Structure 1
Amino acid sequence: MTLRKWPLIWAIMMISIVIAGCSSCSGRMPGSKAGAFSIESSYIQESGEHLSINAEYPVLKGFPGADQLNAEIREKVEAAATEVRNAALELEGREGFVASLNSNYQYFHNKNLASLWMNWDNYTGGAHGLYWMDSYTFNTDTDEIYTFPGLFLEGADGAEYVTNKILEEITGGDYYFETAADKVIGYENDYPFFINGEELIVYFQLYELAPYVAGMQSFSFSVDELESFLKPEIAIAMEGKDPPSDSTPRPINASSRVSSRLRPICI
C-alpha cells in the first residue's frame, strides 16, 4: 500500500490535462458507433468581472447505462456552477475577487472495466479555494456501477483488508486529526475510489482526515496486493495495464485571488 498526500503548490496558472486511454478503445472518439465505449468532453465556460467558470466534464457513450451516469454528472456540474454564480453576485464591489469553478476528468478503460474520476476546484470567497473529487467505476457490459465492497469476492474480506491497512497508516502518521480513525471506520468499508491501471486508489476529501495544508489523502493498493480478494474480471482488467498518461488527479483553482496545483508525493 502506498500513501499519497497531495499538498498545495501555489501558482497563478491554468493547467490543461491531456487524457489518454489505456487501450485503443479507450480514447476520446467523437461519433463512435453505439456499442463501442467512448468518452467525449462537454464544457460550461462563463466569465465576468467576478466570475470564471471553466468546467470540462465527460459525456459517456456506447453502453446502456451511459445516459444515467451522464445525467448524474451533469447535475453535479450544474449545481457546482450555480454555487459559483451565486458567489459571484456576493463578490460584486470587491475589487480583485473572482468566484471560480474549474473541473477536468481522467479515466482508465480496459476490457469491460471503466473507471472515471473528476477533479473539481472552486473559489467562492474567503482565504482560499477548495478542491475535491468524484469518481465512478463501472462495467460497460453489465452496466453495474461498482461500490467499493462490490470489487471483491464475496467472503474474501477484501474491503476489511483495505480498512485495516489504512488504519495502520493513520496510526503511524503525525499530521492526521485525532478523529481520523473514526472517520475511516465510519465509512463501513465503502470508500470513494477509482482504478488507475494496476492501482486501486482510495481517497478522502479535504478535512476528512487531515488539515487543509496536508491536502487530500489517498491510499494506493496494487493489483498484486489485492489479487486474491478481487473479483476475477476486476483483476484481469487491471493486470499489466499502465495508467493513462498524466494520470495523477490534479484539481486546479484559476481564480485571480488564489490558485493551486496538486502533485502527488509518494512516501
Structure 2
Amino acid sequence: MREDELVATIVERRTQQSPCVDIVYPQVEGLPNKKVQREINQLIEKQANKLFAGEGCDGVTVTGNYAVKLNQKSLLSIRLEAYLYRQGAAHGMTLANSLTVDLKTGKVYGLKDLFKSNSHYIYKISEMIKAQIKERDLPLLREFNRITDRQDFYLTKDALVIYFQIYDYTPYVVGIPEFVIPLRRVERLAKEDSPIQRLLAR
C-alpha cells in the first residue's frame, strides 16, 4: 500500500473507571510508524476523557461511543460522543468532540489548517450554514453569526461537517446540529496540501 493510501485498523477500547462510567472509544493499529500510532492513540484517549472530565457516580452516569467518519487516503476523522445523566434531571446531556489526523505524520488538523488564510473561509462557510438553518427551519436560541477558526468539525470522504453543541444555538430537542458541506463547494478555499485536496484528488 502506498504511504498516501494508509488505512488504520480500528480496535475498540473501553473506559470503565467506575460502575457509572462506560466509554467506548477507538484505537488504531497497523500503522508502519509505531511512534505516530502511539501518539494518535494517546490523542484519541485524551479526547474521549475530555468528554466526561472525571464525571461519574455521585448521581451521574456517563456512557459514550464513537463513529469513524473517515479512514482512507492516510486520513482518520472520528467523532466521539458522551451522554451524561444526573439523577433527578429532566433529561441527560450529550456532548461531542472530534479528531482529524494524518496517519502518516500524526498531524492534527484544526479547521484553520484546511483553508488558505486569505480565502475568507469563515465568512463563506458561515453563509452556507445560515442557508441550511433557513432551509431546515431550525429553531434558534440566539442568532447565528459566524463560526470560528476553532470550530468543531469532522471530515467524510466527500464532505466537511460542521457541528455545534446542544444549546450553543439550538434547543435540546434539536440534538447536536450538523451542517454537511460538500468538499467541492469549498475546494477553491482549501490549501494545496489540505486534506480536502487529498480527498478530492482521483
- TM-score between both structures, scaled by the size of structure 1: 0.61
Change (3 A) 1:202 1:165: same
Q: What residue number does 2:71 align with?
A: 109
2:57 maps to which of 85, 90, 114: 85
Using the TM superposition, give the Cα deviation of residue 165 of structure 1 relative to its aligned residue in structure 2, in angstroms: 2.0
Using the TM superposition, give the Cα deviation of residue 133 of structure 1 relative to its aligned residue in structure 2, in angstroms: 1.3
Change (3 A) 1:236 1:169: closer
Q: Deviations over 1:111-169 (max 9, x none)?
A: 12221111222212211111121111122223321110211134222333102222344
Q: What residue number does 2:200 align with?
A: 239
- Structure-2 separation of matches of 1:107 and 1:230: 20
- Structure-2 separation of matches of 1:140 and 1:197: 15
Change (3 A) 1:74 1:85: farther
Q: What residue number does 1:175 align with?
A: 139
- Structure-2 separation of matches of 1:209 and 1:128: 18
SS of 2:123 mapped into structure 1: helix
- Structure-2 separation of matches of 1:181 and 1:78: 29
SS of 1:144 mapped into structure 2: coil
- TM-score between both structures, scaled by the size of structure 2: 0.78
Q: Is the 8 A contact 1:121 1:132 kept in 2?
A: yes
Aligned residues: 191
Q: Is the 8 A contact 1:84 1:101 kept in 2?
A: no
Q: What residue number does 1:148 align with?
A: 111
Using the TM superposition, give the Cα deviation of residue 107 of structure 1 relative to its aligned residue in structure 2, in angstroms: 3.4
2:10 maps to which of 15, 21, 39: 39
SS of 2:54 mapped into structure 1: helix
SS of 1:55 mapped into structure 2: strand
User: Is residue 2:25 matched to residue 1:57?
Assistant: yes
Q: What residue number does 1:135 align with?
A: 98
Q: Structure 1: where are the runs of 5+ without partners?
A: 1-23, 27-36, 89-98, 242-267
Q: Once superposed, which parts of structure 1, at least 4 consecutive aligned residues long, lie more than 6 Å away? A: none
Using the TM superposition, give the Cα deviation of residue 103 of structure 1 relative to its aligned residue in structure 2, in angstroms: 2.0
CA RMSD of superposed structures (Å) = 2.9
Q: Structure 2: where are the runs of 5+ without partners?
A: none
Change (3 A) 1:104 1:138: closer
Identify which of structures 1 and 2 has the higher relative contact order when contacts are C-alpha pairs closer than 8 Å and 6+ apart: 1
Q: Give the residue type in structure 2 aligned to 1:44.
A: T
- Structure-2 separation of matches of 1:214 and 1:59: 30
Q: Is the 8 A contact 2:77 2:154 kept in 1?
A: yes
Q: Is the 8 A contact 2:153 2:160 kept in 1?
A: yes
Using the TM superposition, give the Cα deviation of residue 76 of structure 1 relative to its aligned residue in structure 2, in angstroms: 4.7
Q: Is the 8 A contact 2:114 2:191 kept in 1?
A: yes
Change (3 A) 1:201 1:212: same
SS of 1:85 mapped into structure 2: coil
Q: Give the residue type in structure 1 aligned to 2:83.
A: D
- Structure-1 separation of matches of 2:14 and 2:98: 18
Q: What residue number does 2:83 align with?
A: 121
Among all aligned residue pairs of Structure 1 and Structure 2, give the percentage whose two residues are the same amino acid.
Answer: 19
Structure with greater Cα Rg: 1
Using the TM superposition, give the Cα deviation of residue 86 of structure 1 relative to its aligned residue in structure 2, in angstroms: 3.2
User: Is residue 2:198 matched to residue 1:226?
Assistant: no
Q: Deviations over 1:157-198 (max 9, x none)?
A: 233310222234446746112x2325xx3x434311000120
1:161 maps to which of 124, 128, 145: 124
Using the TM superposition, give the Cα deviation of residue 202 of structure 1 relative to its aligned residue in structure 2, in angstroms: 0.2
Change (3 A) 1:136 1:75: closer
- Structure-1 separation of matches of 2:131 and 2:67: 31
Q: Give the residue type in structure 2 aligned to 1:60.
A: V
Q: What residue number does 2:160 align with?
A: 200
Q: Give the residue type in structure 1 aligned to 2:82.
A: W
